Amino acid sequence: MVNTKVSLSGLTLDNPVIPASGTFGFGYEFADIYDINILGSISCKGTTKDARFGNPTPRIAECTQGLINSVGLQNPGVEKVISEELPKLAKVYSKPIIANISGFSIEDYAYSCEKINSQEQVGLIEVNISCPNVHNGGMSFGTTPESAYEVTKAVKAVTTKPVYIKLSPNVTDIVSIAKACEEGGADGISLINTLLGMRIDLKTRKPVIANKMGGFSGPAVFPVAVRMVYQVYEAVSIPIIGMGGVSTARDVIEMMLAGATAVQVGAANLVDPCACKNIIEELPRVMKQYNIENLSDIIGGSH
């Protein structure tokens, strides 16, 4: 009998498979399709201080082995997430969840993280620093070590739960940014977020997406994600949640060998709502195939 359990900053997960933020709603939407309690955890839809309608449509463009999205963090705001969305999830999901928080200033991040930190069902806070810094010309917080450090430090000052910083791959040196987050007190790192991409319609000769560019995700980005997880694992001593193009149990194992303790599944959920379920069911068979008894034993096994 294989053991799929992993430990993430004191949280024991039955398996390392977690639906990625933005691809699984607030979780309860999937409860009619299958028993979502089989999931290791759920990274909920990205939440901001204030409600956001999101970007204009069209927001989605298809690509070979992937897709581009520019949804724009559509969500009801942290107060309504706490009062309406989390209680709905609690009715159908009994495990600790991951709250994904975004912001447009350090004050935004601190406010939302402090609010969500008080929620009992939140086991871990994932801070997305790929958002534009409104006080710095729209440049993402996650593009320099200095700004990544400042956000991490501010969030850690107002929270008691483990904080994982979600990093953008659209940088020249992912390692220096991950190290800055560790220095700022981060309990872990989540990576990667989407790559920046675009498509052009040949008939109209204009960008397919109203926002021109968007986040490119799907199987095509998997090798980039594996590379970045591998690099960051060598540079930091805190756990990593790996993501980016994961769509099979074999991908999960490869990501863990690169250094991930847990693995998020994103775009695959948009193609097949049962993607996570299928991966979880396939995992024991693939573990046996590669003579893996305890999944936690292979973390960073390729180094």
Domain that holds residue 254: 6-53+76-196+215-298
**DSSP code for 255:** H
Q: Would residue 131 show up in a list of annotated catalytic residues for this protein?
A: yes
Count: domains in the chain: 1
Give the pLDDT confidence score for residue 134 in this predicted structure.
67
Pair type for strands 240-243 and 97-101: unpaired
H/E stretch holding 125: strand 122-128
- Share above pLDDT 90 across residues of the chain, in percent, rounded to a whole number: 95
Do 280 and 39 form a contact (C-beta atoms < 8 A)? yes
Mean predicted confidence (pLDDT) in 237-251:
98
Q: Which of 44, 63, 113, 131 is catalytic?
A: 131
In this structure, is residue 201 part of a structural domain?
no
In this structure, is residue 137 part of a structural domain?
yes
CA distance readout (Å), 231 to 143, 220, 257, 293: 17, 19, 12, 26
pLDDT single digits (tens) 26-73: 999 999 999 999 999 999 999 999 999 999 999 999 999 999 999 999
Encoded tokens for 251: 């991908």
Pair type for strands 214-217 and 195-197: antiparallel
pLDDT greater than 90 at residue 78: yes
In this structure, is residue 69 part of a structural domain?
no
Confidence of residue 138 (pLDDT cuts 50, 70, 90): low
Give the pLDDT confidence score for residue 285 in this predicted structure.
98
Pair type for strands 262-265 and 240-243: parallel
Give the pLDDT confidence score for residue 216 in this predicted structure.
96
pLDDT greater than 80 at residue 133: no
Confidence of residue 294 (pLDDT cuts 50, 70, 90): very high
Give the pLDDT confidence score for residue 96 in this predicted structure.
98
In this structure, is residue 16 part of a structural domain?
yes
pLDDT greater than 90 at residue 288: yes
C-alpha to C-alpha distance for 46 and 74, rounded to whole angstroms: 8
In this structure, is residue 59 part of a structural domain?
no
CA distance readout (Å), 276 to 72, 212, 252, 293: 24, 30, 11, 21
Confidence of residue 135 (pLDDT cuts 50, 70, 90): confident
Residue with more model confidence, 136 or 153: 153
Confidence of residue 99 (pLDDT cuts 50, 70, 90): very high
pLDDT greater than 70 at residue 248: yes
pLDDT greater than 70 at residue 129: yes
Residue with more model confidence, 172 or 130: 172
In this structure, is residue 231 part of a structural domain?
yes
Give the pLDDT confidence score for residue 131 in this predicted structure.
77
pLDDT single digits (tens) 149-185: 999 999 999 999 999 999 999 999 999 999 999 999 9
In this structure, is residue 303 part of a structural domain?
no
pLDDT greater than 90 at residue 282: yes
pLDDT single digits (tens) 80-89: 999 999 999 9
Q: What is the CATH number of the domain that holds 288?
A: 3.20.20.70
pLDDT greater than 70 at residue 137: no
Mean predicted confidence (pLDDT) in 191-209:
96
Average pLDDT of the residues of the chain: 96
Mean predicted confidence (pLDDT) in 220-243:
98
In this structure, is residue 152 part of a structural domain?
yes
Mean predicted confidence (pLDDT) in 292-301:
98
